[in-house]
Amino acid sequence: AQSVTQLDSHVSVSEGTPVLLRCNYSSSYSPSLFWYVQHPNKGLQLLLKYTSAATLVKGINGFEAEFKKSETSFHLTKPSAHMSDAAEYFCVVSDRSGGGADGLTFGKGTHLIIQP
């Protein structure tokens, strides 16, 4: 069985400061890990994915995440927050790369607030 824990339900940062959204996972197999973002009234958009290649993964809009197997973590970071980053962020795990025919397991989400 697989599960995801997002450690913060809300994170608030000032514009221009770094962002850290924390995620821990558990998985019986070698997992694939994803971060999705959801802006209000929009669908879920993939930010980045880890599928057993490089442990530091770069995504869209300046986000990146590092897979740390020893810590079972996949934290999302961005060096400098922008107002447009305000959204809900989901850490997601799959025991098959990309999910395939299998469903994804979502964390509860972290609401990112950007202060001007």
Interaction residues for other proteins, span 28-57 (CB under 8 A): 34, 36, 41-46, 49, 51
Distance of CA 58 to the CA centre of its chain: 11
**Contact status, residue 38 vs residue 88, Cβ threshold 8 Å:** yes
Q: Which is closer to other proteins, CB of 35 or CB of 81?
A: 35
Q: Are 6 and 106 spatial neighbours (Cβ–Cβ below 8 Å)?
A: no
Which residue in 62, 104, 81, 74 sits closest to 7, CA to CA?
74
Select from 21-29, 59-67, 72-80, 89-97 the region that touches other proteins (CB under 8 A): 89-97
Our finding on whether 20 is near other proteins (CB under 8 A) is: no
Give residues in contact with other proteins (CB under 8 A). 34, 36, 41-46, 49, 51, 90, 96-109
